[in-house]
Amino acid sequence: MKNILPELRAERGWTQVDLAGRLGVSRQTIIAIETGRYDPSLPLAFAIGELFKRPVESIFSRDKNPRK
Amino acid sequence: MDAAERKQLFFLWMRQFGCWFLAYLLGYAGALWALLSLPPGAARTALVIAPILPGLGLIWSTVAAYRRADEFVQREILMAAAQAALFTAVWTLAYAFLEPLGLPHLNMGLVHTFGWPVFIWRMVQLMRLRG
């Protein structure tokens, strides 16, 4: 999955640690999602959507060349 | 739980894990010494079975950390445990065939020290993850 988390985070001036704190996850989890190493669970994806006040599908999209 | 608390808990686990691992290695050295040097008796038996406690401590601290972790860290802990188990399985399988060919007989307790370094290496990688 591709995502625009770094852009959304940058718009708000949040660091990865800030975002992790707001979502109640570790910094490693944010790094792994942003780099496409990990696709979040549905509850976490919806929590991200709610935090940025955007539909989940506007944040995450299918990656046609996924990381192996 | 915020990120700072999670980081604190992660380092707490690493400290706990490190202490249990050190205790296990010391216990193992003590057990080997007792086995080779002491006459049969209560003291020898106590020293030989002593590494069981820190061995259980290693498992307990890892299970506790798993329960506290978030979904990605839980996945990484499971993958690290699977890799450690696979490494141990391959190593022990190979050694089972090498031993009859003349390699020295090893104590089964030593198996415990094969997998943990793999696990620790994966956890250090996780801790150093940068994006």
Question: What are the residue boundaries of the structural domains of chain A, listed by start?
Answer: 2-56
| pLDDT at B117 (0 to 100) | 87
| pLDDT at A45 (0 to 100) | 96
Interchain contact A16–B (C-beta under 8 A): yes
Alpha carbon distances (Å) from B27 to B35, B96, B126:
12, 25, 28
How many domains does one find in chain B? 1
Interchain contact B128–A (C-beta under 8 A): no
Interchain contact A21–B (C-beta under 8 A): yes
| Dihedral Cα B114, B117, B123, B127, nearest 10 deg | -170
Question: Closest residue of A to B129, CA-based?
Answer: A28
Q: A42 vs B6, which has greater pLDDT?
A: A42
Interchain contact B4–A (C-beta under 8 A): yes
A2-56 homologous superfamily:
lambda repressor-like DNA-binding domains (1.10.260.40)
Segment B18-58, tens digit of pLDDT: 899 899 999 989 999 999 999 999 999 999 999 999 989 98
- Residues of B within 8 A of A25 (CB-CB) are 3, 6, 70-72
**pTM of this prediction exceeds 0.95:** no
- Residues of A within 8 A of B6 (CB-CB) are 20, 25-27
Kindly determine whether residue B72 and residue A27, on different chains, have CB atoms separated by under 8 Å: no
- Segment A24-50 shows an average pLDDT of 94
- Residues of B within 8 A of A15 (CB-CB) are none
| pLDDT bracket for residue B4 (50, 70, 90) | low
| Domain housing B91 | 3-127
Interchain contact B114–A (C-beta under 8 A): no
Residue type, B88: T
Segment B57-113, tens digit of pLDDT: 988 988 888 888 899 999 999 999 999 999 999 999 999 999 999 999 887 777 777
Sign of CA dihedral A46, A48, A54, A55: negative
